[in-house]
Structure 1
């Protein structure tokens, strides 16, 4: 089997790491960072994992059985357009990007017009440490040989429906809650620290919402936003699109606000201080925010 990746970031690398021991014959990839100042990590990861980097997206998918699209949310349709000229009947385009149902439907139309199958796949948990065995939802062309391959390769998958968008809709709506909870936690704790009332706010929140598991819960929310905020902001903008597609204008505005905060915190370039408690973590974010102006 030959699997090609369009986008060779964290998700693609995690998938290769867990798929490789299964005897996959060949991995190829193309990443938009190739040929830029940001190419070194991509090239190093490809060399370590035994993935052949192609000179362009069409070259990457030549002869591939599966094409797994794993790019940023904002580039999902462009990724499909970049390989459109090389897609052929018999290939399966696996779209794991976190985008709205309409975006996936537009992508599916492009892929199917070339004779390839389209699989709407929503990755429902962090890709580490399980790689491709991370729980996923699938929709679209999930039957027959595709279902057999998913089972044979030990994907932890569940069918969300036949219509493209059924899988990603579940993730997009869930993301509004998950990333919204992160955002409101980070904002409230940061504001409490800035206002000098952290102890009182923390005591109230941890007492009222004991089930969340304080302070570890809040520390984890900070860590996720500090490390992955920019990427998760792009996903939240697609969640905003999902809300608007469903007729929820205020839901779209809410998701936009959540995206903005994720982008702000993720863009600070700071990380959780070693051994730091929740207050120290919040102080790190506030200090980076002041420095950035």
Structure 2
């Protein structure tokens, strides 16, 4: 592999991409959490003790940090990159956050690319849909495809356009999850879970609500904190557009409140939900 890859952040996305693509020693990884080193070793990438070690010779950087660390990562590490490096910001943040990060990277001589990841990295892995925006987006798309990403699309030259699509879409995706939790909390207390879910099934047959309720709630109990941070960025997106984020602000609270909860929901139709929720 000719290009050197720097992975800044080695959580679920970074480890999934590295293992699926088989980058091995062509990828250098850094994470502020030392416990992630074991995952780096399993993936066969070069585990770096400092960000500078990962970034100093990289041709392309995949920024895969938490939403609230996106801007600080760009600002803190901009001085460590080499000229013309492609900084692919794959974090779920508001367009204004991406534009601020781009200023830092471009001032240091790098080429910033706004990348929106439109689906969970598992099970999609290297087939996960990626939207790219920015003047360097075509160059980044070609290199990302060479690195194994096979579902990419350039959506424009303006930084923030890809993230706007992601953030606005997330209002529906995460909002439905939050509404599902609220519905199930009320239905469980009222003792009408079967009746409520059956009535929803009768009105919409694309997927059983017995399965959908279980899935939506699992997403929040497992990833609620990360999703709440992303929805805060969606709220910022709406504010930037002059739209008051009434429901989106509520979704932030519900996602955060659901994180890590063990809830006694029982749908009686798609397996042992109580077992799923308490394991």
The TM-score with structure 2 as length reference comes to 0.90
2:221 maps to 1:226: yes
Q: Give runs of aligned pairs for residues 90-109 of structure 1, distance below 5 A.
A: 90-109=84-103
Could you say if the C-alpha distance between residues 94 and 7 of structure 1 is closer, same or farther in structure 2, counting changes exceeding 3 Å?
Answer: same
Counterpart contact for 1:160–1:167, Cα < 8 Å? yes
Which residue number corresponds to residue 144 of structure 2? 150
Could you say if the C-alpha distance between residues 131 and 142 of structure 1 is closer, same or farther in structure 2, counting changes exceeding 3 Å?
Answer: farther
Could you say if the C-alpha distance between residues 213 and 143 of structure 1 is closer, same or farther in structure 2, counting changes exceeding 3 Å?
Answer: same
Q: Does the residue aligned with 1:122 lie in a helix, a strand or coil?
A: strand
Could you say if the C-alpha distance between residues 83 and 219 of structure 1 is closer, same or farther in structure 2, counting changes exceeding 3 Å?
Answer: same
Q: Give runs of aligned pairs for residues 274-293 of structure 1, distance below 5 A.
A: 281=273
Counterpart contact for 2:25–2:44, Cα < 8 Å? no
Q: Of the candidates 254, 258, 268, which is equivalent to residue 251 of structure 2?
A: 258
Unpaired runs of 5+ residues, structure 1, are: 289-293
CA-to-partner distance for each residue in 1:36-85, whole Å, 9 max, x for gaps? xxx2xx12111111122222222221101111110111110011122122
Q: Distance in 1 between matches of 2:140 and 2:208?
A: 40
2:42 maps to 1:5: no
Q: Distance in 2 between matches of 1:282 and 1:210?
A: 24
Q: Distance in 2 between matches of 1:232 and 1:255?
A: 12
Which residue number corresponds to residue 85 of structure 1? 79
Q: Give 1:151 shift.
A: 3.2
Which residue number corresponds to residue 134 of structure 2? 140
Counterpart contact for 1:94–1:118, Cα < 8 Å? yes
Which residue number corresponds to residue 267 of structure 1? 260
CA-to-partner distance for each residue in 1:14-48, whole Å, 9 max, x for gaps? 1111222xx665211111212xxxx2xx1211111
* TM-align CA RMSD: 2.6
Q: Give runs of aligned pairs for residues 181-220 of structure 1, distance below 5 A.
A: 181-220=176-215
Structure 1 residue ranges (4+ consecutive) displaced by more than 6 angstroms after TM superposition: 271-276, 282-285
Could you say if the C-alpha distance between residues 283 and 151 of structure 1 is closer, same or farther in structure 2, counting changes exceeding 3 Å?
Answer: closer
How many residues get paired?
A: 276
2:3 maps to 1:28: no
The TM-score with structure 1 as length reference comes to 0.86
2:30 maps to 1:46: no
Q: Give 1:12 shift.
A: 0.6
CA-to-partner distance for each residue in 1:163-198, whole Å, 9 max, x for gaps? 000101001000000010111112101211012222
Could you say if the C-alpha distance between residues 280 and 186 of structure 1 is closer, same or farther in structure 2, counting changes exceeding 3 Å?
Answer: farther
